[in-house]
Structure 1
Amino acid sequence: MTGQFPGAFSGRQPSPFLGREAVRAGLLTTHELETKYRAVYRNVYLDNEVALTPLLRARAAWLFAGPDAVLSGVSAAAVHGTKWLNADAPAEIVRANRHAPKGLRVHSYALAPEDVMQREGMRITTAARTAFDLGRLLPHEEAVPIIDALMNKTLLDPEDVWALRRANSGVRGVDRLRSALAVADGASQTPLETRTRLALRYIGIPGLETGIRFYDVCGMMCNRVPMGWPRWQLAIECDEEEDTPGYRERVHKQTAELEWFGWSVVWATKAMVSGRSELVPRVRQKLLAARRQAGSAR
């Protein structure tokens, strides 16, 4: 059990661990270490059967870098609980020594004490500082979905990130951060929801809202849609196209429930959002039809 191995995160299974220390302690032979486990970083190992997630990569980077480092960027986002991160992205740390092996990105920028917190025994950047760094260092199209997911998971107030921007106006990338923050929205729960919202943002008909909730006769929330136009009762749903049992049935049920509320539904897929040629005209057509119908009913 890797929970017994040196460096392993207590109660976290699976967990990366320190290989040489495990062999010295008699918990593994050198042959077992080399055949049943793989090195994520020098002397930091993980079971061959375990997929390397962004969170496990972050923990491995912490073991490799040592207690003076601070997890940042996508690694801090992973520890904060952010989903939908790229599993192949390098771990990110802040430390003075810029030397980095493959799979690790090292930053040497200064962090104020209030920018750092403890989580799972590791030092990581706060949610606000994490969003600040993601927005200024990543390309816009990559940063916004991650910031959305981070805001959704941590309930981060965007004003906390704006405050960091004002306090660090001379830091590299703050202009890029401004454009990311201007369109970030913590209501998005998946990257597809983020990209759909951005595709529809300039459709030409105002009133797009996100995270729309529906309530039953007792006042209890009974449904949610990622975005839509409440005035025109048009919901935009995101089809993640999951290959799981019952997923298509849930899609049909969601459509039926929204229509019962009197709403029309347009489903967006990844292909539709990437091309945009199909989604935007379809939504605009639905909105114009709703406006005409409302006008004729007066």
Structure 2
Amino acid sequence: MPSPAQVPRRLSVLPFRGSAAVAEGLLSWTMLRSPAWIRLLPDVYVHRNGYRDGDHRMWCDAVALRLPPGAAIAGRSAAFLWGADLLGLDASTPGSSPPTFRTAGRGTRPPVTVLLPRAARLRPHPRVRPVRSVLPDTDRTRFAGLPVTTALRTAFDLGRQGPRVDALVAVEALLHRRVVKLPALRAYSAAHAGWPGAALLREVLALAEPLCESPMETRLRLLLLDAGLGPLTAQHDVHDARGRFVARVDLAWPALRVAVEYDGDHHRERAHFRQDVARLNALRAAGWLVVRFTADDVLRHPHATVALVRQALRERATR
């Protein structure tokens, strides 16, 4: 029978290298074989109380312990660390299928994306998605204690990866978090114009709107722009005839007083529903026509969504 595992305070929450813990005399290999410890990666363990299978930050912590010199967490994993959670992007993008890791009975878990210098080596693992590229020191930093691509490099990389809507969602999410500024990203893109995907990034940067507040709002906006219903204003402040603030709407054609709103799941809560009713009535009193959509409208019924907006604009234009 293995000896009962002790739990040193410094190893009670975060992943750690087993060999380092044994070398320091904190644990023995026999202890690490007990049910108190979970092996995440080769030589990387976490205490069972700190294990959360769907916690991407835990997996980033674990993978970082195995990275060779010069490598960094990158892509959507880096965006997650910078505060823009794009990990569920695949589920809301019909036809897109970047790699994911499926665990029995636990659903789909995205792997940790890492950027490796071309000569670096890393043992393959289903929880790790390696990407090889040039990675100068100026494009790497430490954030939240982990080696990660800078926010600028993260946005540059994600903005070059199709589909176009996903690239725009990623860039706008990082812009909205204010960890990247649009002029700096444009300058960086121009300085790396020969890189793969640069043409897509240029198109994304021409469309990018830092004021968009959610991935679905970005998708709705792009859907309407592609249908020829632009230009339109994001996050427009509506005032009544006396100049008093009424509401801020997601997307607007101010001259026509037409607004388009995306309603997420939180709008179904009772308190939110009451606020929405009062807000909608105030917008109508101010002379605005508001058309509201859900994720299902945008993702599964795009033609009907565009038709409703087009009809609203036509009604206002002919008044």
* TM-score, with length taken from structure 2: 0.76
Cα separation, partners in 2 of 1:76 and 1:288, compared to 1, 3 Å: same
Gaps of 5+ in 2: 1-6, 89-107
Deviations 1:12-41 (A, max 9, x none): xx6434455556654799667753554443
Equivalent of 2:195 in 171, 174, 184: 171
Paired with 1:116 and 1:185, the residues of 2 have a C-alpha distance of 26
Q: How does 1:16-165 map to 2 (within 5 A)?
A: 16-19=15-18, 21=20, 25-26=25-26, 35-36=35-36, 38-46=38-46, 47=48, 50-65=52-67, 68-86=70-88, 88-96=109-117, 97-99=120-122, 100-154=124-178, 156-165=180-189
One-letter amino acid matched to 1:42: P
One-letter amino acid matched to 1:43: D
What's the counterpart of residue 290 of structure 1?
316
183-192 or 242-251: bigger deviation: 242-251
Equivalent of 2:303 in 271, 274, 277: 277
Q: CA offset at residue 121 of structure 1?
A: 2.5
Q: Secondary structure at the match of 2:212?
A: coil
CA RMSD of aligned residues (A): 3.4
Deviations 1:55-99 (A, max 9, x none): 333232212325642121112111111124338322122223243
Cα separation, partners in 2 of 1:20 and 1:256, compared to 1, 3 Å: farther
What's the counterpart of residue 226 of structure 2?
202
One-letter amino acid matched to 1:53: D
Q: CA offset at residue 105 of structure 1?
A: 1.7
Paired with 1:224 and 1:289, the residues of 2 have a C-alpha distance of 22
Q: Secondary structure at the match of 1:211?
A: strand
Q: CA offset at residue 215 of structure 1?
A: 6.2
The yes-or-no answer on 1:256 pairing with 2:281 is: yes
Paired with 1:127 and 1:147, the residues of 2 have a C-alpha distance of 10
- State percent identity of aligned pairs: 28
Paired with 1:25 and 1:222, the residues of 2 have a C-alpha distance of 64
Gaps of 5+ in 1: 9-13, 294-298
One-letter amino acid matched to 1:90: P
- On the 8 A contact 2:76/2:86 being kept in 1, the answer is no
Paired with 2:294 and 2:61, the residues of 1 have a C-alpha distance of 33
Cα separation, partners in 2 of 1:92 and 1:205, compared to 1, 3 Å: closer
- On the 8 A contact 1:61/1:104 being kept in 2, the answer is yes
What's the counterpart of residue 214 of structure 2?
190
Q: Secondary structure at the match of 1:107?
A: strand
81-90 or 127-136: bigger deviation: 81-90
Paired with 2:180 and 2:53, the residues of 1 have a C-alpha distance of 29
Between the two proteins, the alignment pairs up a number of residues equal to 287
* TM-score, with length taken from structure 1: 0.81
Q: Secondary structure at the match of 1:198?
A: helix
Paired with 2:43 and 2:220, the residues of 1 have a C-alpha distance of 43
Q: Secondary structure at the match of 2:259?
A: strand
- On the 8 A contact 1:16/1:56 being kept in 2, the answer is yes
